[in-house]
């Protein structure tokens, strides 16, 4: 069951994502936000209107599960990354090739040397594109990348830096 977020709940999410990932509040204007017991969903306004206009509620899926969790701090999802791809400029950890292999197959890595002080859910980037989400605690990053992805990959894959 999805419930429309009230204005306060919505604003908290917009502010959280601006503060943490630098997502411009303007980008939320074309989205209807709803909440289930364990996630926040975003629906493009046009799609939402179209389905309502046709009185169709039997869509099997529509909308994007952008945040998971029952409350703050929410975990951002791959759909969040796809939705705000070009707008995200904060909360990012750039990985090197050997770190990618470590995260995908060993599930965690230790950052060496200087690293961003940000804690909690961070966005993992490799060679310029989003790899997924990690949970950073101090110098350790635990992979939050779905198992269905890593299961599909061969552990023999090499990840090189450009």
Contact flag: residue 131 with other proteins (CB under 8 A): yes
132-159 core/surface letters (b: 16 or more CB in 10 A; e: else): bbbebeeeebebbbeeeeeeeeeeeeeb
Choice from 3, 6, 36, 62 touching other proteins (CB under 8 A): 62
Nearer to other proteins, 50 or 119 (CB): 50
CA gap 87, 36 in Å, rounded? 25
Closest CA to 143 of 73, 85, 95: 95
Please state the φ and ψ torsions of residue 58, each to the nearest 5 degrees: -90, 15
Give the number of other CB atoms < 10 A from CB of residue 59: 10
Nearer to other proteins, 8 or 151 (CB): 151
Structure tokens at 154: 């061969």
Choice from 37, 54, 113, 155 touching other proteins (CB under 8 A): 54
Contact flag: residue 64 with other proteins (CB under 8 A): yes
Contact flag: residue 52 with other proteins (CB under 8 A): no
Nearer to other proteins, 69 or 97 (CB): 97
Contact flag: residue 44 with other proteins (CB under 8 A): yes
- Residue 72's SS3 state is coil
Which region, judged by CB under 8 A, interacts with other proteins, from 9-17, 18-26, 115-123, 125-133? 125-133
Q: In what order do the strands lie in the sheet with 108-110?
A: 92-95, 120-126, 129-137, 140-143, 108-110
Which region, judged by CB under 8 A, interacts with other proteins, from 20-28, 113-121, 135-143, 145-153? 145-153
CA gap 31, 118 in Å, rounded? 28
Map the footprint of other proteins across residues 65-84, applying CB under 8 A. Answer: 78-79, 81-83
Contact residues toward other proteins (CB under 8 A) are 44, 46-47, 50-51, 54, 56, 58-64, 78-79, 81-83, 85, 100, 104, 127, 129-131, 149, 152-154, 157, 159-160, 162
């Amino acid at each position: 069951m999805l419930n429309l977020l009230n204005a306060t709940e919505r604003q908290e999410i917009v502010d959280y994502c601006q503060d943490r990932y630098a997502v411009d509040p303007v980008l939320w204007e074309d989205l209807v936000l709803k909440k289930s017991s364990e996630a926040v969903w975003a629906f493009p306004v046009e799609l939402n209107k179209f389905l309502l206009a046709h009185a169709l509620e039997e869509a099997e899926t529509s909308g994007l599960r952008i945040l998971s969790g029952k409350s703050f701090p929410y975990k951002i999802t791959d759909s969040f990354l796809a939705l705000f791809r070009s707008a995200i400029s904060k909360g990012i950890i750039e990985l090197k090739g050997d770190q990618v292999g470590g995260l995908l197959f060993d599930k965690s890595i230790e950052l060496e040397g200087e690293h961003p002080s940000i804690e909690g859910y961070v966005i993992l980037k490799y060679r310029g594109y989003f790899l997924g989400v990690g949970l950073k605690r101090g110098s350790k990053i635990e992979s939050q990348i779905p198992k269905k992805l890593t299961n599909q990959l061969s552990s023999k894959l090499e990840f090189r830096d450009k």
